[in-house]
C-alpha cells in the first residue's frame, strides 16, 4: 500500500472518529435541553403547546437547513469534475460544523449554571455558523483535502463564535441576516486561506475551473433553493411578529430586484450579449446577502429593491472584472467567487445597515424601536452612535476574518503536500485504458458479441502505440466513438496522463445506463469526454479518480468519494478477459 493510500484510508477516518468522540463527550458533560424542550420544565411552566417556541421557529429552521445541505451543496457542483466532492464534502463539513457550533455559540451565548441550554433557535444559529464555513469552503473548493477542510472548520467555527459574541453581545450590533457575521466573515476568511494555499502551479489549471452543461444545471438547483428560502434565512431569528414579517418582505423584494439587474448586467458585459450562467447562479443571490443586516429595520420596500438592484450590479461586475485581477495580481484563486456573492454584497449590506440605523427614530419605529434597537429605545445610545457601531462592527469582522484566515491557512499549508490526502498515486495510463475499454465490452450486449480485430487491438493497446489512432466507429451499436487522436506520447513512460479516451452521451439507451468505472488503483487516465450529440470536449485534472459514464462525464478530480456500485454487474467476470 502506498503512502497516499494509507493517508486516505487512515487519516480521514481517524480525524472523524476523534472529533466525533470528543463532541459526544462534551455534549454529555455540558449540553442539556432548554425550557421549551425539557419535558418537566415546559409542562410545569406552560399551559398550552402553542406557547412552545418550536411552532414559531421550526418552519424557518427547515428552510435554513435545506439551504445549508442542498442549496450550498448543489451550488458548488458547477465544476465539471468535482461534483461528488462538492456535495459530499459539503455534507461532511456541515455535519461536523453544526455540532461544534452548538458548543461554541452556547459557550458564549447560552451557558447558564455551567450548562449549555439548546433548543430550536440553537439549531438555527448553528446552521448560520455552518453557512459561514461553507462560504469559506467555496473559496478553497478543489484545493483542499477533507481532512484539511475539517481542520479549517474546527478553527473557523471558533473564530466565528468569537466575532459574533463581540458584535452582538459586546457592541450591541444588529445583524439578523448575517451580512457581516456570516457572509462577510466567511468570504474574507476563505479568501485569506486560499491565498495562503496558493501555489505557482495552480495557474496552469485555470482551464479546469469551468463547467459543462449538466454541471451548470445541477448548480442551478442549488441557486433556486437558496433564492426561494433566503427570506426565511434572514428572518429566522428575528423577533416574532412585525420584525420577522418585515425582514422576510425586505429580503423577498431585494432578491427579485437583484435578479433583474443580474440578467441585465450579464448580457451587458458580454461581447455577444449572451447570459453567463456563472452570473445567474451566483449574482442573483446577492440581494439576499445585502439585505441581511438592514432586513429587520424600516428599510421600506423600495429601499430593499434599491439594495438588491445594486447588489446584483456589484456582484456581476465582480465576477466579470475583479475576479481575474484577484487571481492574476493578488494570487487569490477564488473557486466559487465567494468575494462577489458574499464578500462585496456583505459589505454593502453592512453599510446599508449602518446608514439605516443612524436614521432610526421613535417616530419611524414607534414601539418597534424596543425590538430593533433596544439600546436606542432605552436612551443608552443615540441613533447616530448606533450607526457608527454598525460600521465599526464591519471593520472588526474584516480584521478577525483576515487575521484568522492568515493563521489557519498558514497552519493548513504545513499539514500536508497538495493532494496527498486526496488521491492515490498515479498509475500507468495503459492499465487505466484497458479497464475502461473492458468495461465497455462488459456492460454493452452488442459490444460483448464483437470479436473483431478492433476489439482485440483496443484491449491489447497495439493500435494506441502507432501514433495516429483511428479505430472503428461503433456508432451503429450505440457504444462508443473513438476519434482520430494522437497517442504518440502514450509510449513515453515519463509523459503520463496524456492518453485520451472518449465516452459518448447515449442516455437514450435507458436499459443500458451503466456506470463504467475503474477501481481505486486505476485512477489516472487523462480523459476527455466526447459527446456524440454536441461534439464538445472537457478536460480533467491530471490526478483524479476516474469514473467513466455511458451518459456523460462523471470524473471527480482530487476526490476521495467513489460512485455508486455498478448497477449492471458483469454476470461472467471471466468472460471478457483479454
pLDDT band, very low/low/confident/very high, at 455 (cuts 50, 70, 90): very low
Say if CB 522 and CB 548 are below 8 A apart.
Answer: no
Please write the tens of the pLDDT for every residue from 276-297.
Answer: 999 999 999 999 999 999 999 9
Q: Which residue has the higher pLDDT, 133 or 454?
A: 133
346-371 average pLDDT score: 95
pLDDT band, very low/low/confident/very high, at 352 (cuts 50, 70, 90): very high
Say if CB 191 and CB 337 are below 8 A apart.
Answer: no
- DSSP state for residue 210 in the 8-state scheme: -
pLDDT band, very low/low/confident/very high, at 504 (cuts 50, 70, 90): very low
Q: In 10 A of CB 304, how many CB atoms?
A: 29
Q: In 10 A of CB 155, how many CB atoms?
A: 18
- Phi, psi of 548, deg, nearest 5: -90, 130
Say if CB 162 and CB 328 are below 8 A apart.
Answer: no
Please write the tens of the pLDDT for every residue from 145-192.
Answer: 999 999 999 999 999 999 999 999 999 999 999 999 999 999 999 999
367-378 average pLDDT score: 93
pLDDT score recorded for residue 7 = 61
Q: In 10 A of CB 564, how many CB atoms?
A: 8
pLDDT score recorded for residue 425 = 31
Greatest extent of the chain over all pairs of C-alpha atoms, in Å: 90
Distance, in Å, from the CA atom of 530 to the CA atom of 508, rounded to the nearest integer, reads 16
Distance, in Å, from the CA atom of 563 to the CA atom of 554, rounded to the nearest integer, reads 9
pLDDT score recorded for residue 112 = 83
Distance, in Å, from the CA atom of 276 to the CA atom of 271, rounded to the nearest integer, reads 11
- DSSP state for residue 432 in the 8-state scheme: H
pLDDT score recorded for residue 81 = 83
pLDDT score recorded for residue 40 = 77
The answer to which of 274-283, 314-323, 350-359, 502-511 has the lowest mean pLDDT is 502-511
Note the Cα 553 to chain centre separation in Å: 20
Q: What share of the chain is helix, strand, coil (3-state, %, to 5)?
A: 65, 5, 30
Residue 136 has pLDDT above 60, yes or no: yes
Distance, in Å, from the CA atom of 412 to the CA atom of 449, rounded to the nearest integer, reads 53
181-195, 322-336, 447-461: which is most confident: 181-195
Residue 207 has pLDDT above 70, yes or no: no
The stretches of 236-322 forming alpha helices (DSSP H) are 242-268, 277-282, 286-290, 301-317
Residue 456 has pLDDT above 50, yes or no: no
Say if CB 297 and CB 243 are below 8 A apart.
Answer: no
pLDDT score recorded for residue 450 = 45
Alpha-carbon separation of residue 24 from 31, 121, 159 (angstroms): 10, 20, 21
Please write the tens of the pLDDT for every residue from 417-428.
Answer: 443 333 333 233
- For the chain, list the domains and their CATH numbers: 3-413 (1.10.3430.10), 429-557 (no CATH)
Distance, in Å, from the CA atom of 433 to the CA atom of 480, rounded to the nearest integer, reads 14
Percent of the chain residues past pLDDT 90, beyond the cut: 59
Query: Which residues on neighbouring strands pair with residue 486, listed in sequence order?
Result: 468
Average pLDDT, the chain: 77
How is residue 1 written as a grid cell?
Answer: 500500500
State the burial class of residue 231 (Cβ atoms within 10 Å of its Cβ: 0-12, 13-18, 19+).
buried
Residue 365 has pLDDT above 70, yes or no: yes
438-461: buried (b, 16+ CB within 10 Å) or exposed (e) per residue? bbbbbbbeebbebeeeebebbbeb
pLDDT score recorded for residue 314 = 98
Distance, in Å, from the CA atom of 454 to the CA atom of 533, rounded to the nearest integer, reads 24
pLDDT band, very low/low/confident/very high, at 434 (cuts 50, 70, 90): very low
Cβ-Cβ contacts under 8 Å for 201 (sequence gap 6 or more): none
360-385 average pLDDT score: 94
220-247 average pLDDT score: 96
Distance, in Å, from the CA atom of 487 to the CA atom of 468, rounded to the nearest integer, reads 6
Instruction: Report helix angle 213-235 to 242-268, nearest 10.
Output: 150
Please write the tens of the pLDDT for every residue from 379-404.
Answer: 999 999 999 999 999 999 999 999 99
Residue 531 has pLDDT above 80, yes or no: no
State the burial class of residue 1 (Cβ atoms within 10 Å of its Cβ: 0-12, 13-18, 19+).
exposed
134-145 average pLDDT score: 94
pLDDT band, very low/low/confident/very high, at 88 (cuts 50, 70, 90): very high
Would you call 337 helix, strand, or coil by DSSP?
A: coil
- DSSP state for residue 443 in the 8-state scheme: H
pLDDT score recorded for residue 492 = 47
Where on the phi/psi map is residue 80: left (φ > 0), alpha (ψ -120 to 50), or beta? alpha
Would you call 532 helix, strand, or coil by DSSP?
A: coil
Amino acid at each position: 500500500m502506498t503512502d497516499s493510500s494509507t493517508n486516505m484510508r487512515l487519516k480521514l477516518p481517524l480525524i472523524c472518529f476523534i472529533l466525533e468522540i470528543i463532541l459526544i463527550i462534551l455534549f454529555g458533560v455540558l449540553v442539556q435541553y432548554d425550557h421549551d424542550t425539557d419535558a418537566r420544565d415546559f409542562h410545569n411552566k406552560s399551559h398550552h403547546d402553542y406557547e412552545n417556541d418550536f411552532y414559531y421557529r421550526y418552519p424557518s429552521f427547515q428552510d435554513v437547513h435545506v439551504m445549508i445541505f442542498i442549496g450550498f451543496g448543489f451550488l458548488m457542483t458547477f465544476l465539471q469534475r468535482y461534483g461528488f466532492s462538492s456535495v459530499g464534502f459539503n455534507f461532511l463539513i456541515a455535519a461536523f460544523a453544526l455540532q461544534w457550533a452548538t458548543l461554541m455559540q452556547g459557550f458564549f451565548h447560552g451557558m447558564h449554571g455551567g450548562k449549555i441550554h439548546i433548543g430550536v433557535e440553537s439549531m438555527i444559529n448553528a446552521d448560520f455558523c455552518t453557512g459561514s464555513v461553507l462560504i469559506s469552503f467555496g473559496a478553497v473548493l478543489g484545493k483542499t483535502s477533507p481532512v484539511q477542510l475539517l481542520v479549517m472548520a474546527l478553527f473557523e467555527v471558533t473564530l466565528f463564535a468569537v466575532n459574533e459574541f463581540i458584535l452582538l453581545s459586546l457592541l450591541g450590533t444588529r445583524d439578523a441576516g448575517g451580512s457581516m457575521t456570516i457572509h462577510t466573515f466567511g468570504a474574507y476568511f476563505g479568501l485569506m486561506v486560499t491565498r495562503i494555499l496558493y501555489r505557482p502551479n495552480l495557474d496552469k489549471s485555470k482551464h479546469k475551473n469551468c463547467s459543462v452543461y449538466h454541471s451548470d444545471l445541477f448548480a442551478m438547483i442549488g441557486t433556486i433553493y437558496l433564492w426561494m428560502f433566503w427570506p426565511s434565512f434572514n428572518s429566522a431569528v428575528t423577533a416574532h411578529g412585525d420584525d420577522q414579517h418585515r425582514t422576510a418582505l425586505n429580503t423577498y423584494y431585494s432578491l427579485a430586484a437583484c435578479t433583474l439587474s443580474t440578467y441585465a448586467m450579464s448580457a451587458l458585459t458580454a461581447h455577444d450579449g449572451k447570459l453567463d450562467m456563472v452570473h445567474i447562479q451566483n449574482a442573483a443571490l446577492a440581494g439576499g446577502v445585502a439585505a441581511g443586516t438592514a432586513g429587520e429595520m424600516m428599510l421600506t420596500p423600495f429601499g430593499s429593491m434599491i439594495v438588491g438592484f445594486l447588489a446584483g450590479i456589484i456582484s456581476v461586475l465582480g465576477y466579470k472584472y475583479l475576479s481575474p485581477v484577484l487571481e492574476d495580481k493578488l494570487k487569490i484563486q477564488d473557486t466559487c467567487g465567494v468575494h462577489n456573492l458574499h464578500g462585496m454584497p456583505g459589505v454593502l449590506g453592512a453599510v446599508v445597515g449602518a446608514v439605516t440605523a443612524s436614521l432610526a427614530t421613535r417616530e419611524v419605529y414607534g414601539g418597534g424601536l424596543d425590538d430593533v434597537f433596544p439600546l436606542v429605545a432605552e436612551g443608552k445610545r443615540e441613533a447616530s452612535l448606533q450607526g457608527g457601531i454598525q460600521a465599526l462592527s464591519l471593520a472588526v469582522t474584516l480584521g478577525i476574518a483576515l487575521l484568522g484566515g492568515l493563521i489557519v491557512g498558514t497552519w493548513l499549508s504545513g499539514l500536508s503536500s497538495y493532494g496527498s490526502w486526496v488521491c492515490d498515486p498515479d498509475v500507468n495510463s495503459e492499465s487505466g485504458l484497458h479497464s475502461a475499454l473492458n468495461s465497455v465490452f462488459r456492460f454493452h450486449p452488442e459490444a460483448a458479441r464483437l470479436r473483431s480485430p478492433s476489439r482485440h487491438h483496443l484491449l491489447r493497446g497495439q493500435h494506441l502505440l502507432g501514433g495516429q489512432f483511428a479505430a472503428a466507429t461503433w456508432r451503429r451499436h450505440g457504444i462508443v466513438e473513438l476519434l482520430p487522436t494522437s497517442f504518440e506520447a502514450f509510449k513515453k513512460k515519463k509523459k503520463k496522463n496524456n492518453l485520451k479516451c472518449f465516452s459518448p452521451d447515449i442516455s437514450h439507451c435507458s436499459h443500458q445506463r451503466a456506470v463504467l468505472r475503474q477501481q481505486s488503483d486505476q485512477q489516472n487516465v487523462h480523459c476527455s469526454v466526447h459527446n456524440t450529440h454536441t461534439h464538445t470536449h472537457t478536460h480533467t485534472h491530471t490526478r483524479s479518480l476516474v469514473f467513466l459514464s455511458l451518459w456523460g462525464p462523471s470524473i471527480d478530480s482530487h476526490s476521495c468519494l467513489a460512485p455508486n456500485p455498478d448497477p449492471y454487474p458483469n454476470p461472467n467476470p471471466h468472460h471478457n478477459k483479454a
